[in-house]
Amino acid sequence: MKIFCIGRNYADHAKELNNPVPVGDPVVFMKPNTALLVNNKPLYYPDYTENLHYEGEIVLRVCKNGRSVQPEFAARYYDAVAFGIDFTARDIQDRQKAKGLPWEIAKGFDRSAPLSKWIALEDINNPKNIHFQLKKNGEVVQDGHSENMLFPFDHLIVYLSKYFTLHKGDMIYTGTPAGVGPVQKGDVLEGFIEDRHLLTCAIK
């Protein structure tokens, strides 16, 4: 099972971090399966960062093996979405970026990828424009619509499958909208897709 992540897939978020909006191709990175955090378990604030950020994201589930998927067939390769958080040690990421080094230690550490249960796409009211929200301590801090993705689901399937054979069960964290920010011990994050409360993650 592979966990793909897409960076800078919403223009408003790329701008808030002063990153260029990607033109041409998506920004891709991966997390190991040891990053997954399921069943609403808490995240213990790691001692190697002082600037841990949440990034609320729609996660797409791959339902079919494939490589070099053509655009007209891309929609057959995913069948469900979940709410996920792409936890990021922003201080470490900034240091790595400044040195031109890979981000893995800032993005792929243990428990850095909380994941909710899956919702079948056929149970989503408007699968072309999924509404999702992240609340921190009860207050909405991120409010996104999937139609604002620079690279929509089909495009991601086509692009990723050019380089990586997709396997049933792989997942794609599809990027975060504006409103990312730090967490402290004691904070509680909650993820919603449409009106479904899907994820709770306490920071301990």
Distance, in Å, from the CA atom of 181 to the CA atom of 52, rounded to the nearest integer, reads 8
CB of residue 122 to Zn ion, shortest distance in Å: 26
Among 93, 116, 174, 176, binds Zn ion (CB under 5 A): 176
Residue sitting closest to Zn ion (CB): 86
Q: Going along 14-118, which residue ranges are E strands?
A: 27-31, 36-37, 52-54, 56-62, 78-85, 88-89, 113-114
Nearer to Zn ion (CB atom), residue 55 or residue 190: 55
Interaction of residue 190 with Zn ion, rule CB under 5 A: no
Residues in 97-156 that interact with Zn ion by CB under 5 A:
none
CB of residue 72 to Zn ion, shortest distance in Å: 28
Among 31, 36, 54, 55, binds Zn ion (CB under 5 A): 55
Among 49, 86, 136, 193, binds Zn ion (CB under 5 A): 86
Nearer to Zn ion (CB atom), residue 66 or residue 203: 203
Interaction of residue 49 with Zn ion, rule CB under 5 A: no
Torsion, Cα of 119, 41, 174, 153 (10° steps) = -20
CB of residue 91 to Zn ion, shortest distance in Å: 16
CB neighbour class for 142 (10 Å; exposed up to 12, middle 13-18, buried from 19): buried
Residue 89 backbone phi and psi in degrees, to 5: -85, 90
Helices (H) and strands (E) in the chain, counts: 4, 15
- Both tokens of 59, joined, read 């996660």
Nearer to Zn ion (CB atom), residue 86 or residue 170: 86
- Both tokens of 93, joined, read 């990421």
Question: Which residues lie near Zn ion (CB under 5 A)?
Answer: 55, 86, 176
